[in-house]
Amino acid sequence: MYKLEAIIRPERLDDVKNALTEAGFTGMNVTHVTGRGVQRGIVHQGRGGETYTVDMLPKVKIEVVIADADSEKAVQAVVKAAQTGNIGDGKIFLIPVSDAIRVRTGERGDQAV
- pLDDT on residue 57: 87
Give backbone dihedrals phi and psi of 21, rounded to 5 degrees, phi first: -65, -45
Q: How far apart are CA 12 and CA 4, in angstroms?
A: 17
Give the tens place of pLDDT for each residue, 40-96. Answer: 666 666 677 666 667 788 999 999 999 999 999 999 999 999 999 998 899 999 999
Give the domain range for residue 49.
2-112
Number of domains the chain is built from: 1
20, 66 contact by CB (below 8 A): no
pLDDT tier for residue 37 given thresholds of 50, 70 and 90 = confident
- pLDDT on residue 88: 87
Instruction: Give the CATH number, domain containing residue 59.
Output: 3.30.70.120
* pTM for the whole structure: 0.84
- pLDDT on residue 40: 64
